[in-house]
Structure 1
Amino acid sequence: MNSRQLHAARMLGAALLAAGLGACASLNREQAEQQQYVDEPVERIYNRGTDALDQGRYPRALRNFEEVERQHPYSSWARRAMLMEAYAHYQNNQYDEAIEDAQRFIALHPGNESAPYAYYLVAICHFERILDVGRDQATTERALQALNDVVRRYPESSYARDARLKIDMVYDQLAGKEMAVGRFYLERDMHLAAINRFRNVVENENYQRTSHTPEALHRLVEAYLSVGMTEEAQRMAAISGHNFPGNEWYQRSYTLMTDSGVAPVAEEEAERRGWFGRTFGAVF
């Protein structure tokens, strides 16, 4: 065999070897894909997801629940998996993703028995992101809307009972925001603006039973005295004493009134003037 023939033989051998290796690689990839995407009993995949969830391995749990949906999209297991994805995201503090999954469940299965939980999960995701009273309260408003949605749709459910408790907490947060703004105005001698904020706390029926009402009444006494509205200051002090007689804020109002030379109005006289029934008597 001359050198030219030897070279050709070598080239042919290399080509055949490359083709063989390529075929093997292609076969290996195909086998790997078959192994990766082989159908499994849905219970096994779902249980792997719940086991991972129990262990706090949320990304692994999500992969298994997503696989349930991929392999068995029209099964009852897929519906469960969809809601479990929302819960796994929530547990991992991925609130936007949890809300998206829960809302997807609601859109696809509005009449499902687990729909109340999906609505509740949306509300909780908003509720747990409520910021302090010094910040914008858009998240608080969204939480309030979602919690009220749970109560409106499923008033007799355990979710509604918990939602009502959280609604009270949300109103306390919003009333606290009003108080923070009112104090800001009061410290800068912007008395009328401060009065509007404090009156909103004592007159808004959603804020009246919050923890901020006693202070709001005292701040009104303080603001009214500052602008010379003596009778209004006496009225707020009388209402405070009538509803919160042992509260420190009433004691502060009483001290402020006497130090300012303004006599507090006795309860009998305040009742005769209709101060209790006119605005607050039916509430406090």
Structure 2
Amino acid sequence: AVLDYNKFTPNKPLPEYGLFYVLEQLPGTVVYQDLTWFLQKYSYFPSYNIPYFKKITQLSGFIGQGKKLGNWFVWGKSPRARIFERDHHTVTDIDSLTKLMRYKKQQNEKFLSIFCFMLFIAEQQLTSRYNDYTKDEFSKCNCNPPYSAEAGISARGDLNPANGTYEFPGQGHVNHGALDYKGTNVSMMKKLEFRAQGGPTWGSVPPFRWSTFDFVDNLARNEETLEANTITLQKDKVKHLGHPDEWKFDWMDVKWETDIHG
């Protein structure tokens, strides 16, 4: 997605075209379109790993997946889509975004966040970290337990129990999730600044810990051990050399030390 800040003036009407473009691609196929009208109509554009354009949706197999597995794979109807639609209006500036990013639902605060990015006419461009899957109505599924940590804006597949039952594997205990947050607004963008936070989401969910991480690296070379003419394959644990055990980092504002306009 491309947002041309040169064509955006805070508190002024949006231009008819040329402000916002979205491009999606597959090998051999590229589709792009000016979606300024979308921002004019809805005030935001959500992105959540489901293609927007019909041609890309067809070629990538999402139509078939939607028919087979339901709204989880349907643009505008997936859990993330419904959370965006419900909560996007709650962000008005970078500070409210930061406060809401730290959201804990048990404190009765509303929250908005985005897995990949969201563009707001309220001068915000961001990715974010919302996941309160045990309490959010849109994280429910026909599963046991009856919800999935993959159905949050910032997915945490590691939190789903390994012995749970799910409608399909991607809803369950998987080595998958969102890894960071990035947010900016008009004033920050002019200075090429942004707000960032590293690591899987935490707050309303426990922080990620390598010491409790139970997945193995299936891509690593298996070690063959010959014992009594039997080959035993020993899978390697995921390497994390140099990492801290607990990933519980706060946000930081990223700024240039030199004058970029000098």
Q: TM range, normalised to the smaller chain? A: under 0.3
Which protein is bigger by CA-based radius of gyration?
A: 1
Higher strand share: 2
TM-score for the superposition, normalised by structure 2 = 0.24
- Normalised TM-score (structure 1): 0.23
